[in-house]
Structure formats: C-alpha cells, structure tokens
C-alpha cells in the first residue's frame, strides 16, 4: 500500500471482493436449510476463502516469498501482531462489549465433530480472508510513502466493509458503532503489520493464532 503502483488489476480486485461478499450471503442461504449460524458461516468461510486464496494464488505466493525471504522481520511482526491483537481483543470484549467473529462455545459442544473445521475457519481462514480482502480493497489507493494515512485508510475503509458484511442485524446504532470501532482498529493493526513487514503473512499468522487461542480457551 505504500507503493503508488498497483500490483493487482481492477478485474482481479473486483472478482476478489465479490468472492469476499459472497461469504456472508452464502452463509445466510445455507442457514435457511441447516438452521445453525456458526456451522453455516464455517462452511461458507472455508469453501469461499479457499476459492479466494486459489484465485489470488500469485498474490499469496508473492507475500509468502517475501515473508520466507525475510524471516527475522516475519517473526518480529508476528510477535508484535500477537501482542497488539491480543490486547485489542481483550479491550474490545471487556470494554467495548464486542465479540469477534467467533463461534459460540455451545456450538462446539453440540457439534463436536465440527470442532476442527470450526477452529480452522474462524482462525487462520478468517485471517486470510481479511488480509487478502483488505489488500484488494486498498490496492489502488495512492498513499505514496504516507504510512499513517495508509494504516488509517485501510482501517476506515475495510473496517466498514467487514462490519457491514459480517454483522448480524438488527443491531442498535451504539452496538454497530462499537463493532465498527473494533474492526477498524483490528484492520489498522493488520495494515501496520503489512506496511512494516511488506507482507500480509505476519498478519494472517498473528490474527489466526489469537483467534484460535480464544476459541480453545472457550471450548476447554
């Protein structure tokens, strides 16, 4: 994002964002038949995020190679991401009264056979979905070397899209604003990790790990 030249074509960006937008839509449609929101979202997120990763395989490969070729930075910003995202999720859940996009513990108890898929979908798969999609939605923004502006724009823009797409309605304006604030800062943290490491891999690993640990702490 700190580069003025886009690495993605407009066609690829649009199709990627359509795939992202289809995830909550397909989850809603599936829930009409199975009547279990968490399982519906699990299936939709696993399947369509896999499609998104395959479709943007070259992009994922570029970021993977950047991370692999600069292991010290990858480890450093993975650890920084762990700390920042854990602190923010704690603040969001404790003070904003916002729950991240995670399944209810009761779902895991009721459907133990689905636990592995639930853990994968709502941790690393969700993290990949968020990081790839926010990269796409901000790819053509001309932010030059203005890192703070890049981070804020990412949080404001994709935080809003993420909130609208994945927040269940009806919801009071106060709750909607608190959810948006949570997502805005979360995406800003991911944008910071991306800008510093030049790869979204540390963001995927740190967000996925924190969300996985949150789910395991609730289940266990």
pLDDT of 77 higher than 80: yes
Tokens representing 12? 């690829």
* pLDDT above 50 (res 4): no
Q: How far apart are CA 128 and CA 87, in angstroms?
A: 20
Strand positions, DSSP E, the chain: none
Q: Which tokens hold the place of 215? A: 């789910």
17-34 pLDDT per residue, tens: 999 999 999 999 999 999
pLDDT value of position 154: 86
pLDDT at position 3, please? 42
Percent of the chain beyond pLDDT 70? 94
Q: What is the pTM of this model?
A: 0.93
Tell me how far apart the alpha carbons of residues 212 and 110 are, in angstroms, rounded to a whole number: 19
49 neighbors 129 (Cβ within 8 angstroms): yes
> Given a cut of 90, is residue 148 above it in pLDDT?
no
Collapse the DSSP code of 176 into the 3-class scheme (helix H, G, I; strand E, B; otherwise coil) and give the result. Answer: helix
**What pLDDT is attached to residue 153?**
86
Peptide bond before residue 170 is cis, with ω within 30 degrees of 0: yes
What is residue 139's DSSP assignment? Answer: T
């Amino acid at each position: 994002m700190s580069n003025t030249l886009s690495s993605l074509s407009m066609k690829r960006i649009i199709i990627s964002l359509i795939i992202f937008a289809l995830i909550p839509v397909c989850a809603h449609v599936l829930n009409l038949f199975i009547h279990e929101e968490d399982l519906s979202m699990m299936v939709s997120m696993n399947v369509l995020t896999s499609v998104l990763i395959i479709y943007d395989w070259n992009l994922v490969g570029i970021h993977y190679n950047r991370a692999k070729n600069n292991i010290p930075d990858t480890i450093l910003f993975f650890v920084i991401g762990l700390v920042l995202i854990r602190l923010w999720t704690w603040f969001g859940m404790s003070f904003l009264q916002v729950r991240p996009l995670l399944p209810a513990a009761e779902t895991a108890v009721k459907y133990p056979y689905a636990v592995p898929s639930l853990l994968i979908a709502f941790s690393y798969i969700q993290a990949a979905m968020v990081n790839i999609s926010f990269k796409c939605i901000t790819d053509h923004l001309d932010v030059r070397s203005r890192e703070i502006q890049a981070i804020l724009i990412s949080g404001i823009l994709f935080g809003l899209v993420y909130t609208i797409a994945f927040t269940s309605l009806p919801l009071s304006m106060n709750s909607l604003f608190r959810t948006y604030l949570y997502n805005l800062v979360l995406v800003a943290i991911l944008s910071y990790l991306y800008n510093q490491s030049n790869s979204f891999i540390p963001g995927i690993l740190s967000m996925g790990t924190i969300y996985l640990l949150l789910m395991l702490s609730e289940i266990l």
